[in-house]
Amino acid sequence: MSNSNSIEKDYTISLELKHRIRFTKDAFSGANRMLAQLLETNGHAKVLVFLEQAVAVEFPQLKEQIEEYFKGTSGLIFKGVRVDVGAEECKRNEKVLRRVWDGIEEEKIDRHSYIFAIGGGAFLDVVGFGAATAHRGVRLVRFPTTTLSQDDSGVGVKNGINAFGKKNWIGSFAVPYAVVNDFNFLHSQPKKIRRDGLIEAIKVALVRDRDFYYWLEDNAKFLCDLKPHFLEEAVERSAILHAEHITQGGDPFETGSSRPLDYGHWAAHKLEQLTDFELTHAEAVSIGLALDTVYSWRTGRLEEDDAKRVLDLLVTLKLPLYHESYELRDESGRRKVFAGLEEFREHLGGKLTILLLKSLGQGEDIHSMDESLLEDCINMLKDYSDEEEKVS
């Protein structure tokens, strides 16, 4: 029915957004001209670099190398390197975010200029949010430096910080100008972090690409030993699968309820919060992924053998299947982790939608979970995990 009191006009804003992803080594060596070709060197664009402290410590020459790189690159105005703290701590309050805004203001970074963010997933989330909100969005070039940020979060289109005790409560969708996965950064991470980040590669393989999953299984020993070539291949294939899903999956800004890339994440986010982030994102995802895999089997979707293969792969890669925070219960005796289902729905909006596996490489959306069956699955994973500990 038309409304005679109103004028109604619905326009469609068409956006031509490019998601530029590059894989390289030694992006800031003078001989590597990839960056110079990637940026618009028009003579007035500025570049301000935010570098995570832990990375600056591992690569003491990096700051100087970046300075040298820009000395040898015409058409850009270099505004220096600012070193700041990263890791989950930087997402827990606004201190680093404010310093990012300060830097953008002090150096007069405008929408034609570039912010470079070099660091792990947490640091990229904070600098990314700063860049997305300053002047309603200045160009961001991400240089992820961990396995997880190179194989997943860095190629995404989101940013954010934590608030109200919840992950990523404040944040925005913003397509970065570019993402540069420089493999050199991978090999300086502490071994555990380097290995744990492979969980997002396993996740994306399970929901999108059976052949990649088999490749991960076949090469699990090399991956566990962190052989550089295998780690780099896993990261590259995972990053491409994530980017393809985001750019070709039909819902880059997550307006629908289906979130295959969040397989295992409803429990993961809650466990991170329940442990006050003592569990890292990667560890929590491994535990949450194990739970949803066993649940997929116990609800008759996934073959038992396939579910056990997944658990075995996690164990081979020294990833956890269970954590004692599962045992925390509220006054009514309900496991606290189950509140993660409602929080997951709330964060996405719409109807609760959880992805389960039908087979290795293929998922199926469901809209409710049976808590007593989840209890059984958790107990099973606890026993399995205890057994594994005895064996090792």
Ligand X SMILES: NC(=O)c1ccc[n+]([C@@H]2O[C@H](COP(=O)([O-])OP(=O)(O)OC[C@H]3O[C@@H](n4cnc5c(N)ncnc54)[C@H](O)[C@@H]3O)[C@@H](O)[C@H]2O)c1
- Residues of this chain that interact with ligand X (CB under 6 A) are 52, 54-55, 58, 86-88, 91, 119-123, 125, 145-146, 148-149, 152-153, 156, 158-159, 167, 185, 188-189, 193, 197, 281-282
Residue 20's Cβ-side half-sphere holds a number of Cα atoms within 13 Å equal to: 15
Q: Are 380 and 290 in contact (CB under 8 A)?
A: no
Query: In the bound complex, what is the minimum distance in angstroms from residue 191's beta carbon to ligand X?
Result: 10
Q: In terms of DSSP bridges, do strands 76-84 and 45-52 run parallel, antiparallel, or are they unpaired? A: parallel
Q: Which is nearer to ligand X, 197 or 363 (CB)?
A: 197
Query: In the bound complex, what is the minimum distance in angstroms from residue 335's beta carbon to ligand X?
Result: 22
Any residues with CB less than 8 A from the CB of 2 and at least 6 apart, and which?
none
Q: Which is nearer to ligand X, 76 or 174 (CB)?
A: 174
Query: In the bound complex, what is the minimum distance in angstroms from residue 170's beta carbon to ligand X?
Result: 12
Q: Which is nearer to ligand X, 180 or 282 (CB)?
A: 282
Q: Are 160 and 169 in contact (CB under 8 A)?
A: yes
Q: Are 128 and 90 in contact (CB under 8 A)?
A: no
Q: Which is nearer to ligand X, 246 or 357 (CB)?
A: 246
Measured distance CA(109)–CA(387) in Å, rounded: 56
Q: Are 107 and 82 in contact (CB under 8 A)?
A: no
Cα separation values, 292 from 40, 148, 288, 344, Å: 45, 20, 6, 14
What is the DSSP-derived secondary structure letter of residue 336? G
- Residue 216 corresponds to which tokens in the numbers above? 């991960």
Query: In the bound complex, what is the minimum distance in angstroms from residue 260's beta carbon to ligand X?
Result: 14
Q: Are 110 and 152 in contact (CB under 8 A)?
A: no
Query: In the bound complex, what is the minimum distance in angstroms from residue 334's beta carbon to ligand X?
Result: 25
Q: Which is nearer to ligand X, 237 or 301 (CB)?
A: 237
Measured distance CA(170)–CA(136) in Å, rounded: 15
Query: In the bound complex, what is the minimum distance in angstroms from residue 74's beta carbon to ligand X?
Result: 30
Query: In the bound complex, what is the minimum distance in angstroms from residue 91's beta carbon to ligand X?
Result: 5
Q: Which is nearer to ligand X, 27 or 302 (CB)?
A: 27
Q: Which is nearer to ligand X, 285 or 313 (CB)?
A: 285
